[in-house]
Amino acid sequence: MSTYLKVIAVGNVGQDPETKRFEGGGQLTTLSLATTETWKDKQTGEKKSITEWSRVTFNGKLSEIVDEYVKKGDKILVDGKLRTRKWSDKNGIERYSTEIIAREMTMMGSNSSNKNQGSAVESYQQQQAPSKQEDDLPF
């Protein structure tokens, strides 16, 4: 039985999405997602926080939706899986990058520039045939 790592992240889009279009009509959209954890320091009572930045990749119809409707500052929920890629930089040094490959995206509201869209939550799912790997999941 194969295994599967599911990732759910809720955060704010750090910059407008970037879309690459391909000759066959496909496209790939990426964005950076900021997730911030806040807490109160028990000793000082001071509010503290830490922000993690994640690269998120969307493809297919989901890429089109993100490209058209998602902007810097928007709060979104992303459901997907982690993918780590290995590559060599221009000096031949091996590098690694980990990204979230999105399968679903939910718009959690709108920023000030998108007030005409209201604050409704809209959810989008990547349309693809389920893989055998997903069929084996017990949940």
Q: Where are the domains of the chain?
A: 6-128
pLDDT tens for each residue of 76-108: 999 999 999 998 999 999 999 999 999 999 999
Determine the topology of domain 6-128 in CATH.
OB fold (Dihydrolipoamide Acetyltransferase, E2P) (2.40.50)
- Residue 68: its pLDDT value, please? 94
Kindly report, residue by residue over 32-69, the tens digit of the pLDDT. 999 999 999 999 999 999 999 999 999 999 999 999 99
Q: What is the pLDDT of residue 25?
A: 87
Give the predicted TM-score (pTM) of the model. 0.75
User: DSSP secondary structure string, the chain?
Assistant: -----EEEEEEEE-S--EEEE-TTS-EEEEEEEEEEEEEE-TTT--EEEEEEEEEEEEEHHHHHHHHHH--TT-EEEEEEEEEEEEEE-TTS-EEEEEEEEEEEEEE----GGGGGG-S--EEEE---PPPHHHHT---
